[in-house]
Amino acid sequence: MNTDKYRVAPHSKIDLKTWEPDDKGVFEGGKKEGEAALPPLNARLETLQELLYAEGKHKLLIVLQGMDTSGKDGVIRHVFEGVNPQGVSVASFKAPTPLELAHDYLWRVHQQTPARGQIAIFNRSHYEDVLVVRVHNLVPPEVWKRRYAQINAFEQQLAEEGTTILKFFLHISKEEQKQRLQKRLAEPEKQWKFSTGDLAERKLWDDYLAAYTAVLEKTSTAYAPWYIVPADRKWYRNLVISHVIIQTLEGLHMRYPAPETGLDDIVIE
């Protein structure tokens, strides 16, 4: 799969209306074929993650952002299925605690970045500090406006110190969100996910789109690119993200560490 068309080139002008949330590229099949295409990718990712861990050299940071119901949790469940939990951490960033608010906004984030040989997945991230924070005026404009440059500098520093960064914006349509919210309302085992707060955020859809557009335009860099992932179809969303992660890990040309010398002569009694 060629995922290049979903990557945002640095300094692009983005009009999200021209990015189709229900795109499925050149994928011929439908949901059934799409879902069947994932397990082999899961197996490949499992192998690559083991190699990342064994080599202990690279760090991989995956940032997931998107509107409510866009599928951040689903990506974590499906794309990372089968991957050894010892090598992966998930950090879910909620509204900051008083302790977190007493620090700068990157303080809580830096602590969760991956160590060598590890994958860290951010379910929401420091980008909330230029998304929800901007939309709700939680800090004055002069404060959030300078954060784009701060975030780029932060990510550049992580990259220079050996972190590979991939950022995914899960792009759903407003109509698809309506259907997913309705499903949460209707199904007893999904109601725990429903929050009336999500309805208030939904009313601010256009403000969020504007805030996301600014993020995509200002913070997609060579060292930390954004991908705009068509996310109305869950199976296609999973395939795109799996492919990007696999291709990126393959591009690191990782090697298993050299074994101890003299292993051939060893006899285990």
Please tell me whether residue 128 binds ligand AMP under the rule CB under 6 A: yes
Query: Binding partner of residue 124 among Mg ion, ligand AMP, none, CB under 5 to 8 Å per kind?
Result: ligand AMP
Binding site for Mg ion (CB under 5 A): 68
Whole-number Å distance between alpha carbons of 184 and 76: 19
Please say which residue, 51 or 106, places its beta carbon nearer to ligand AMP. 106
**Segment near ligand AMP (CB under 6 A), from 122-130, 161-169, 209-217, 238-246?**
122-130
Closest CA to 175 of 214, 135, 231, 237: 231
Write down the least CB distance from residue 77 to ligand AMP, Å.
Answer: 14
Ranked by CB distance to Mg ion, the top (closest) residue is 68
Closest to 72 in 3D by CA, of 130, 31, 149, 128 = 128
Angle subtended at Cα 76 by Cα 73 and Cα 77, rounded to the nearest 5 degrees: 90
Pick from 90, 132, 204, 210 the residue near ligand AMP by CB under 6 A.
Answer: 132
Place of tokens 């949901």: 31
- Scan residues 223-252 and list those touching ligand AMP (CB under 6 A): none
**Residue whose CB is less far from Mg ion, 5 or 77:** 77
Q: By C-beta, is 84 or 195 nearer to Mg ion?
A: 195
Angstrom CA distances, 111 to 48, 122, 158, stand at 24, 12, 12
Q: How many CB atoms lie within 10 A of CB 98?
A: 6
96 binds ligand AMP (CB under 6 A): yes
Does 102 help bind ligand AMP (rule: CB under 6 A)?
Answer: no
Helix (H) or strand (E) holding 241: helix 234-250
Should residue 93 be labelled a site residue for ligand AMP when binding is judged by CB under 6 A? yes
CB of 146 to ligand AMP, least distance (A): 16
Residue 176 touching ligand AMP (CB under 6 A): no
Give the CA radius of gyration of the chain.
Answer: 20
CB nearer to ligand AMP: pick between 21 and 66: 66
* CA 54 – CA 52 distance, rounded (Å): 6
Q: What angle do CA 161, 125, 94 make, to 5 degrees?
A: 140
Q: Of 44, 116, 124, 202, which lies in the binding site for ligand AMP, with binding defined by CB under 6 A?
A: 124
Residue from 13, 94, 203, 253 that binds ligand AMP (CB under 6 A)? Answer: 94
Axis-axis angle for helices 38-55, 72-79 (nearest 10): 80
| Cα distance between residue 227 and residue 4, in whole Å | 9
Residues in the site for ligand AMP, rule: CB under 6 A? 93-96, 124, 128-129, 132-133
